[in-house]
A and B are shown apart, each in its own frame.
Chain A
Amino acid sequence: MSNWVALLPEVILSLAAMFILMRDAFVRPVQAGAGGAAGGGRDDRRMSVDCLVTLYSIAGALIASLWLMDASAAPDAMIALDGFRVAADVILLGGALLVVSLSRDYLDREGLRSPEFHALILLALVGMMVLVAARDLILLFVGLELMSISVYVLTGFVRKNPRSSEASLKYFIVGAFASAFVVYGIALLYGATGTTRLATAAEVIAAAPAGGDLLLVAGIGLLLIGFAFKIAAVPFHMWAPDAYDGAPTPVTSFMATGVKAAAFIALLRVLTVDLGGAAQVWKGAVWWLAILTMIVPNLVALSQQDVKRMLAYSSVAHAGYLLVGVVAASELGRSASLFYLAAYTVVTAGSFAVVFHVAGRGDRNQRVRDYRGLGWRRPVLGAALLIFLLSLAGFPPTAGFVGKLYLLRAAVDAGETSLAVTLVLTSLVAYYYYLRVVWKMYFEAAPEDAHTPPSPKAGFSLVIGTCVALILLGGLFPGRIIDRARDALADAPAPGMVVQAEDPPSP
């Protein structure tokens, strides 16, 4: 039975999701017309309980993951149990914690009271954690599907809004298409190596003569295409701006942090660790993906007038920066990618939250010109958004800067100078559209009839403040985090996957 302890974080989350779903079935629904105020009050109470259960269970899973840090599993086990998994879980769970705690106000405002929201977030998290921990291709696929299907539903959650439904349908069709690529790739990899266990497959590939097997090449290619769809790398990104734009903003934030992070971490591990022996097969393709994903979305984002859509393109561009770490394929590349991902997760959760807060009921005010004078009308919100945008752009006192520097060093060390140059140049291009928002916030006066967003509630401000603090800490004291990572790295068991990320963003 002790083997099941390795799944403790996932079990905690699943049980919480079941609890929320069962509670909905047994708590009497509010009767229509039985007095709106009283009914609303009961709905509010139920929402609060659901939200608390979700937050506590995620925190519990986080503690369980950290507790598993010292454990280790057999190398051919189905579920990994090492520093890499703990680091990935910390990023995913921390991101979800931020997203869920920030989305409370949005759900209240838009009247989205279905308990399924929290249950689906939890189950999607289970899928993500299975995806990043899977050491077997079948389990990897099931985790990927669990995550994807939950998020398709979350995207279409606001059924009254046709754009939400459209986004959900698009995401579903493209996502199912991508899954087909992944599963076909897995089948061909099984054909090439005779096993679905990633550790065993790595041995088979290492033993085989380099680069000859057609089946292996086709399998890796299909797997790569499928994952490129999931992390929205150019040219497989067409769905992303529409899906991100149409989804309710907290879900967009969850997609941009959790889904992208999980798919990316799984790709990072499978490619650089397990298929590292076949690097000559995938390296060129990932190089091109990285270059295109850095250039195209940054140029498109320049002309966006809608802040949410601009952030969607920016999130696509960040996938390109992350892919640089994959091409570097070194210890440094892996830890750089994870550090960048952690910083990106915190920033993205925070910036989308500010965007939906400013947008107001029905998401009416999310164009760039609605931000005129925001920095003076709501100084705290403005300052927070300023820090987030600076971190996304990669300015010095933030974690985003350290992450980019770290990625650059990984790229240069691996001899990928052209990637490093592209990273710097595209980041410079990105300054324009990030700083345009800053300019509007501080240097343009608001028109007389401008909508001033309500001052945020205490809980919301607290979480936003935590995000800001984490970003500044990561930017000012990166040495501490890196040193701690080295310490933890020393007693990480399995060679080849000894990577640690920064501390959990725990509110």
Chain B
Amino acid sequence: MIQDFLFQAFAASAILGAVIMVTRRNPVSAVIFLVGVFFATSGMFLMLDAHYIAAINVILYGGAIMVLFLFVLMLLNLGHADWRDLRGPVGGLIGGSISIAFLGVLTRLFVGGTDARPVVEIAGSALREAAAEQGVVGVVARPLFTEYTIVLEVTGVLLLVSIVGTILLARRERT
């Protein structure tokens, strides 16, 4: 019960944080709210008994990647709050109405869903059993190296392409 309540609270703060993040003018404060979103998401993972994912999420996203983001923003001195929004009010209107429509879809799913069992119970019980058997890391690692090996390999190639591409576009021109 308390788990379910906490899950909903984390979920609500994640959505709220995300909304605040995309409406900020100042990139630095947007990044700070993004960190908040990551922490709230980790909290959701924790309530679903996905401890390993929660920890990795905090360490990698909340920690390492966001620090890089902040560094880059501050180095490039991009934090000007007085920049005008490029899109006019029409863009905002369209974007806003689509967001509200999706919020409506999600609300309907949670409130009037056909499946009355709370999300926490479904995901949590399956994960708890698997974790008791294989350990918290094993739950993630085993499928990653058995069922989803191909995905892992292709992701490796994807990272290679990203590195090669970044260097190609950013390096000094050869003379």
Q: Which residues of A contact B (CB under 8 A)?
A: 7, 14, 21, 29, 32, 78-79, 114, 116, 119-120, 123-124, 126-127, 130, 136, 138-139, 142-143, 145-146, 149-150, 152-153, 156-157, 159-160, 168, 214-215, 218
Give which listed residue, A29, A127, A159, A160, contacts B169 with CB less than 8 A.
A159
- What 1/0 flags go to B152-175 for Cβ under 8 Å of A? 001101101110110011000111
Q: Contact at B164–A79, with CB atoms within 8 Å?
A: no
Asked whether, in the complex, the Cβ of B164 is within 8 Å of the Cβ of A119, the reply is: yes
Closest partner residue, chain B, to A140 (CB atom)? B151
Measured CB to CB, the residues of B under 8 A from A are: 102, 105, 108-109, 147-148, 150-151, 154-155, 157-158, 160-162, 164-165, 168-169, 173-175
Contact B151 A142 (CB under 8 A): yes
Contacts of A78 in B (CB 8 A): 147-148, 150-151
Pick the contact of B158 from A21, A138, A149, A153 — CB < 8 Å?
A149
Picked from A14, A127, A214, the residue with its CB within 8 Å of the CB of B105 is: A214
Q: Which A-chain residue is minimally distant from B167 (CB atoms)?
A: A116
Known interface pairs A29-B174, A139-B150; A123-B161 also in contact (CB < 8 Å): yes
- Residues of A with C-beta under 8 A to B150: 7, 78-79, 139
- Closest B residue to A222 by beta carbon equals B102
CB distance from B4 to the nearest CB of A (A): 18
Is B105 within 8 A of A153, CB to CB? no
Question: How far is A112 from B137 in the complex, measured between Cα atoms in Å?
Answer: 47
- CB-CB under 8 A from A153, the residues of chain B are 161, 164-165, 168-169
Beyond A29-B174, A142-B151, whether A149 also contacts B160 by CB under 8 A is no
- Please provide the 9 A-B residue pairs with the shortest distance between their CB atoms, ordered closest to farther: A153-B165, A32-B175, A146-B158, A142-B154, A116-B168, A123-B161, A150-B161, A139-B151, A149-B161
**A293-B123 Cα distance, complex, nearest whole Å:** 42
Q: Knowing A21-B164, A153-B168, A156-B169 are in contact, say whether A146-B174 is a contact too (CB < 8 A).
A: no
CB neighbours of A150 from chain B (8 A):
161, 165
Chain A residue at minimum C-beta to C-beta distance from B154: A142
Residues of the B chain whose Cβ atoms lie less than 8 Å from the Cβ of A156: 169
Q: Give Cα A203 to B73, complex, Å.
A: 48
Q: Which of chain A's residues have a CB closer than 8 A to the CB of B161?
A: 120, 123-124, 146, 149-150, 153
CB distance from B87 to the nearest CB of A (A): 13
Instruction: Write the nearest CB–CB distance from A12 to chain B, whole angstroms.
Output: 13
Please measure, in the bound complex, the distance between the C-alpha atom of A32 and the C-alpha atom of B147, giving whole angstroms: 50
Given contacts A21-B164, A145-B158, A152-B165, 11 further A-B contacts (CB under 8 A): A120-B161, A123-B161, A130-B154, A138-B148, A139-B154, A143-B154, A153-B165, A153-B168, A168-B169, A215-B105, A218-B105
Which residues in B have their C-beta under 8 angstroms from that of A149? 158, 161-162, 165
B residues in contact with A127, CB < 8 Å: 154, 157-158
CB distance from B155 to the nearest CB of A (A): 6
Knowing A138-B151, A149-B158, A214-B108, say if A116 contacts B164 (CB, 8 Å). Answer: yes
- A142: which of B147, B155, B160 is its contact (CB, 8 Å)? B155
Q: Which residue of B lies closest to A157 (CB)?
A: B168
- Please give the distance in Å from A229's CB to the nearest CB on chain B: 15
- In the assembled complex, the CB of A218 is this many whole angstroms from the nearest CB of chain B, namely 5
Residues in A with CB closer than 8 Å to B175 are 32
Chain A: minimal CB distance from B129 (Å): 17
| Complex CA–CA separation, A483 to B164 (angstroms) | 45
Shortest beta-carbon distance from B169 to chain A in Å: 6
CA distance A249 to B165 in the complex (A): 19
Q: List 7 A-B residue pairs with CB atoms under 8 Å apart, sorted by A's residue number.
A: A14-B157, A120-B168, A142-B155, A149-B158, A150-B161, A156-B169, A168-B169
B-side contacts of A14, CB under 8 Å: 157
A146, B154: Cβ atoms closer than 8 Å: yes
B165 adjacent to A120 (CB under 8 Å): yes
With a CB–CB cut-off of 8 A, which chain A residues contact B169? Answer: 153, 156, 159, 168
A215-B113 Cα distance, complex, nearest whole Å: 10
What CA separation (Å) do A160 and B172 show in the bound complex? 11
Once bound together, how far apart are the Cα atoms of A165 and B147, in whole Å?
Answer: 40
What is the bound-complex CA distance between A14 and B153, given in angstroms? 11
Taking CB as reference atom, which chain A residue is nearest B105? A218
**Among A114, A116, A215, contact of B109 (Cβ-Cβ < 8 Å):** A215
Please, which residues of chain B bring their CB within 8 A of the CB of A145? 158
Q: How far is the CB of B37 from chain A (nearest CB, A)?
A: 15
The chain A residue sitting closest to B164, CB to CB, is: A116
Q: How far is the CB of A384 from chain B (nearest CB, A)?
A: 33
**Which A residues lie within 8 Å of B164 (CB)?**
21, 116, 119-120, 153
Question: Closest Cβ of chain B: how far from A44's Cβ, in Å?
Answer: 15
In whole angstroms, what is the CA distance A134 to B109 when docked? 29
Residues of B with C-beta under 8 A to A139: 150-151, 154
Q: Which residue of A lies closest to B101 (CB)?
A: A218
Expressed in whole angstroms, the minimum distance between the Cβ of A169 and any Cβ of chain B is 10
